[in-house]
């Protein structure tokens, strides 16, 4: 594990009885990056997060935090980690101010003023019981608590799940500001692909218990394209490698994974006078191509 790697996942397997949730999953989260972990419901994202935090022992493989086995070093590692869970979890009778006061003595690097300012920007009432807050306000409290200790690693497990558009935007605005100011490393699992795309440096996609992608977002987007051609187009997609092909009344289209300008030129040469349209894909479109329903994949 490199000194520039904050979290390392090595050959991770998780099984619950006969059910395999994760198998052979490996990736590194480099220091100072935002690493987006994507997958449909039930693909093991939350299980992976629990293993990464040392809360769950994997069936096989290991996770390492700051170079140490996460299962063995959890107590030491957690002092350097901030966590925003999928479901906001805090004593329901405590107010945000009481939660700040409770957590402050636990961290040498605690910044109470920054946490209060973050809650005020999010319009969270400081004297209202946590259990009475809206889900968006609870999420803002959890993010403020996670960031108050200036963590080296921030882990967010689907933090915008169930939030309205305003609350999602507010959470990402706070997150973007902190990441820019501190260079904090972040692992984010999310279904909000539009929200994570502007800030993610690397993307990993889980599908069928395994990783089907793990690379820099720019590189991922550079090699995916949607190709459309009329009925008079070339009989095959060479030199492209399609993962989805669709036949339409007007012609055919494919999502390809090995796009380069050189291959584009070669395909256009084969197409002759046939009409060809090449379009870039958003992160959401790439995710749907990689992890969509089996019926959508060729």
Strand-pair category, 81-84 with 153-157: parallel
User: How would residue 1 be classed by pLDDT, with cut points 50, 70 and 90?
Assistant: low
Q: Identify the pLDDT of residue 297.
A: 42
User: How would residue 182 be classed by pLDDT, with cut points 50, 70 and 90?
Assistant: confident
Which numeric CATH code is attached to 5-218? 3.40.50.300
State yes or no: pLDDT of 216 exceeds 70: yes
- The Cα angle at residue 71 between residues 67 and 73, in degrees rounded to 5: 55
Q: Produce one character per residue of 117-145: b if its CB has 16 or more CB atoms within 10 Å, e if not.
A: ebbeebebeeeeebeebeebbbbbbbbbb
State yes or no: pLDDT of 34 exceeds 60: yes
DSSP structure class, residue 271: H
Percent of the chain residues topping a pLDDT of 90: 71
Q: Identify the pLDDT of residue 30.
A: 94
Q: Identify the pLDDT of residue 168.
A: 83
Average pLDDT over residues 118-134: 94
Whole-prediction pTM: 0.90
Q: Identify the pLDDT of residue 294.
A: 47
Q: Identify the pLDDT of residue 163.
A: 81
Start-to-end CA distance of the chain, whole Å, equals 37
Percent of the chain residues topping a pLDDT of 70: 96
Average pLDDT over residues 243-260: 92
Q: Identify the pLDDT of residue 2.
A: 55
CATH 3.40.50.300 placement within the chain = 5-218
Average pLDDT taken over every residue of the chain: 91
State yes or no: pLDDT of 295 exceeds 80: no
Over residues 50-70, the pLDDT tens digits come to: 999 999 999 999 999 999 999
Average pLDDT over residues 18-39: 95
Q: Tell me how far apart the alpha carbons of residues 51 and 27 are, in angstroms, rounded to a whole number.
A: 13
Q: Identify the pLDDT of residue 298.
A: 37
Sheet holding 19-30, edge to edge: 19-30, 5-16, 60-65, 68-69
Lowest mean pLDDT, pick from 128-132, 189-193, 276-280: 189-193
Q: Identify the pLDDT of residue 165.
A: 84
Average pLDDT over residues 199-213: 94
């Amino acid at each position: 594990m490199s000194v520039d790697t904050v979290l390392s996942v090595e050959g991770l397997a998780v099984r619950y009885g006969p059910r395999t949730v994760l198998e052979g999953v490996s990736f590194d989260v480099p220091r100072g990056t935002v690493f987006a972990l994507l997958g449909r419901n039930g693909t093991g994202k939350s299980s992976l997060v629990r293993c990464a935090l040392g809360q769950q022992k994997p069936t096989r493989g290991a996770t390492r935090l700051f170079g140490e086995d996460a299962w063995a070093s959890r107590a030491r590692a957690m002092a350097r980690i901030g966590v925003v869970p999928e479901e906001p979890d805090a004593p329901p009778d405590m107010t945000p101010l009481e939660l700040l006061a409770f957590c402050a003595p636990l961290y040498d690097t605690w910044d109470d003023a920054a946490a209060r300012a973050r809650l005020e920007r999010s319009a969270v009432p400081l004297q209202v019981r946590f259990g009475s807050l809206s889900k968006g306000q609870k999420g803002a409290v959890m993010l403020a608590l996670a960031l108050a200790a200036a963590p080296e690693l921030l882990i967010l497990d689907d933090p915008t799940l169930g939030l309205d558009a305003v609350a999602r935007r507010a959470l990402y605005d706070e997150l973007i500001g902190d990441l820019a100011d501190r260079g904090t490393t972040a692992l984010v699992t999310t279904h909000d692909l539009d929200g994570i795309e502007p800030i993610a440096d690397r993307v990993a996609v889980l599908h069928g218990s395994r990783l089907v992608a793990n690379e820099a977002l720019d590189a991922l987007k550079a090699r995916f394209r949607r190709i459309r051609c009329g009925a008079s187009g070339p009989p095959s997609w060479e030199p492209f490698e399609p993962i989805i092909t669709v036949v339409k009344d007007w012609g055919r289209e494919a999502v390809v994974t090995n796009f380069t300008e050189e291959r584009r030129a070669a395909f256009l040469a084969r197409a002759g006078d046939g009409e060809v349209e090449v379009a870039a894909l958003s992160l959401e479109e790439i995710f749907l191509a990689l992890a969509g329903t089996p019926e959508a994949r060729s």
